[in-house]
Amino acid sequence: MDKKNIADYVARILQKTFDALDDAYENNLEGKNVNAKSHLIFPKYSTEGENYRVSEQELRFEFIHQFLKSQEENKENTPKLYYSIETPTKRKYRFSKPENFSKSDDDYPKIDETGESAQFDVVLFDEKAQRVCYIEFKAKNPSKESYEKDLLKLNTESENQAAFLVQLLWGCNQGTLSSIIKKIQPTSSEDRCLNDVIYVCHILKGKKTYIYNNDNIRFIDSWSELH
């Protein structure tokens, strides 16, 4: 399958993933009655009050569950794919500045063959065991440096393959999305912007999904709007 078909397939899996996470968060909270189709439980922190963990782990594991379920059902137009987790990158990188760095050497993170191999959260493979899709998962609203590391890897190694940056938020106030936009908008270094990477953000508590398109984040009602 070509890049677009793979991206469309992954988008369908993401839709099922978000639906399952919404269902689990509404019905499967630790210490309360379990009443969801999903077997995922959102665990509670030891602090007092209604404080449940929402992290990229829930997002990644539910995605893999929905991916495997789709592969087992093997419906029409389902590509035969395989997956790996914490997949080593082919290139080497330096994500942090050395203690003795000079201001003239301030371009971090960067590709550096004297650096170290990094990892992708999930990589999908075709039947020839060739990489066809790279996926990085994020939760909450991390630093700009955290986005830059993921975008550098995705842009460097995806080449003609599909690439996704998928984020899960517990809630979203007026400043949350604008804060994220500032972090993922193109900078002076093309390697650190989205380029062809598809950015998808799901608001768990609000049950809404957004994509980044044409320098703006917009809400989508249907996954047919993804491209």
pLDDT digits (tens, 9 = 90+) for 129-169: 999 999 999 999 999 889 989 999 999 999 889 999 999 99
Contact assessment for residue 112 and residue 94, using Cβ atoms and an 8 Å cutoff: yes
Maximum alpha-carbon separation in the chain = 58
Distance of alpha carbon 63 from alpha carbon 58, whole angstroms:
8
Structure confidence at residue 75 (pLDDT): 86
143's CB contacts (< 8 A; 6+ apart) are: 183
49: its two tokens: 């009050």
Claim: this prediction has a pTM higher than 0.85:
yes
Least confident of 11-25, 38-52, 61-75, 136-150: 38-52
Domain that holds residue 50: 3-97+105-226
- For the chain, how many structural domains are there in total? 1
Q: Of 8-12, 101-105, 199-203, which gets the smallest average pLDDT? A: 101-105
- Residues 58-67, mean pLDDT to the nearest whole number: 96
Kindly write down the DSSP assignment for every residue of 74-135, as one continuous string: T-TT----EEEEEEEEEEEEE-S--TT--GGG---SEE-TTSEEEEEEEEEE-TTS-EEEEE
